[in-house]
Structure 1
Amino acid sequence: MLNNIYTFPQRYLMISVPLTLVIAFIVGTVFDTRFLQPVVLFATIIMIYVTMIGFNFKELTSVQGTKVLLFSMMINFLIVPFIAYLLGVTLLREYPVMFAGLALSALLPTSGMTISWTAIHKGNVPAAVKLTIFGLILGSLLTPWYLLAMVGQIVNVDILATFRTIITVVFVPMILGHVTFKLMMKRMTLAEFKHRVKPALAPLSIWAMLFIVFVSVSARASMIVSNLELIAIATVVLILFYLLNFFTSTFFAVKFFNRDDGIALVNGTVLRNLSIAIGLAVASFGAEAALIVTIAFVVQQQGITLYGKVAISRWFKPCTAEADEQPIKQTVRKPIKA
């Protein structure tokens, strides 16, 4: 019974995410859940820590990830900002503050969920880690200047705080995961770990992800409900934004990469760092900017859940049975057929 509850989110991800969103809205309109926000950091660490147990550190320095990294930088810092700018000047011209919120969402790529979703989809996790690290660093450096060009107002980004975030949510879980794995290897074989322990750890990462979604949405549920007109406008813009991003990333992933790298590319370019974006939105632009980023949480989670369901059955089909047994390090390097 308990095991069925524990593994439910992993087995029924298409149900788990929408159910979490509904519960978050209901709870958030009745109770103030903002006191849970400090716990989100720990949930993020747990989410990444679980995926890092058994992670091969040699893959992080491998030159094999250079191509996917370069493509992700091109998409994240050229194509995605351009898409956001076009949507902003055409659909949000009368709502400049919401335009700023959209720009913030577009300019801060990758988050802990990039790594988590890549692991869930059994893609190239080392490549996803690279995209997360480089994406956060470049995003923090470039965001003020992009905002100046896009919305005419520069935003002060705390570079040191961003680096601390990177260390906390990426490097700390990596180190803890490596230490945990080494301790486990003293008590069991690698085969035992892959077949018995690793599958048991996977649902924990998804539970942590669902908790993050719950807190992010429920803490702002009242603000969302009280701004229905703005919600409708923001929802339309964000759906278009994510649809264009999914289409662009999938095009490059299918045309230029194998299955594993393609999954990492999509997750590293479509998923945005909305936690940092909403903090900057509140501090620099106000409620309307924060509103569109909040709705982006909902659209992004639903989008990646639906996309994963379709993509894994279509253009990201597992190449062999071996791919299912090796969720961290993929060895099959076959081109994807669209």
Structure 2
Amino acid sequence: MKKILVTGAAGFIGFHLVKRLLETGHDVYGIDNLNAYYDVRLKLDRLRQLGIDVQEENFLRQKEVGSNTHSHFKFLQLDLTDEHRLDVLFEKEQFDVVANLAAQAGVRYSIDNPKVYVQSNVVGFINILEACRQNNIKHLVYASSSSVYGNRDEVPFSENDRVDHPVSLYAATKKSNELMAHVYSHLYGLPTTGLRFFTVYGPWGRPDMAPFLFTKALFEGKPIKVFNNGDLRRDFTYIDDIIQGVTGIIDKEVSQSDYRVFNIGNNNPEKLMDFIKFIQESSGKEAKLDFLPMQAGDVFQTYADIDQLQQYSGYKPQTSLKEGLQQFVHWYKEYYKVS
């Protein structure tokens, strides 16, 4: 079994990855800055699910978050921009693998808050690369994004496509991560694998994403904002399928200087209006629709070509959008105690 650092461990994908790694017997160390981009209580509740006895009053005072009740999981509140504390952690713990999922997420938020993205996604990532290089990490797996493809007409999106024209700063930071990782693989022999996530959703999901926003609006009787008048397509990928793909990469043996980038999606773009229909069916409620033009920084469609990842690790998504949304709505109703 491996000793694995998961950054962004209180985030949506990070939480599910930690949970799966613990279930399969790995020793896991999680870090997260627990920023207030969305409701911190959701992040703290994820940590509670992982066995961290969260003391909210200490978090609010910027002290240690809480004690650890899981023998194979440790957690530390830490920002990737804190280079000194990050270096001390790496030197002390001597990880085998790093799964870097920490990032400032969200395309639309990057339009109004660009400097936050540079600090978290660029400065934070170079600190991770340096810590990996200095401590002989055997494999760095990191989150990229389907956003790097920009507004492409040709589908499906392939890793062989040129991705030189991002339409948001968030996408630009993710492309920069791939370039920086390539340099560290080439110059220093650090094995790196970037994963371009395609619209991940499921229980414990992010409140700024469509499944959460639409479900919340339905139960509150508020209109759903439908951009581009509903003419959008997304390659929605259920969280369990994503985690199966990430752990498949972590379990692979890699060689020095290996550099790879993979799409990780569902290989099945869905129409936004079908997505809304499934949410209505799962919630038993009828949506009020507010049709709007395309938002700045958004793209018309995403569609993942996953052939390369399938050939490399056997990745094969199993969950239909209808089934996945049923699972999400069920979680939402239980977590927020709505009927």
Q: Same fold (TM over 0.5)?
A: no
Calculate the TM-score normalised by the size of structure 2. 0.25
Instruction: Judging by fraction of residues, say which structure has more strand.
Output: 2
Calculate the TM-score normalised by the size of structure 1. 0.25
Instruction: Judging by fraction of residues, say which structure has more helix.
Output: 1
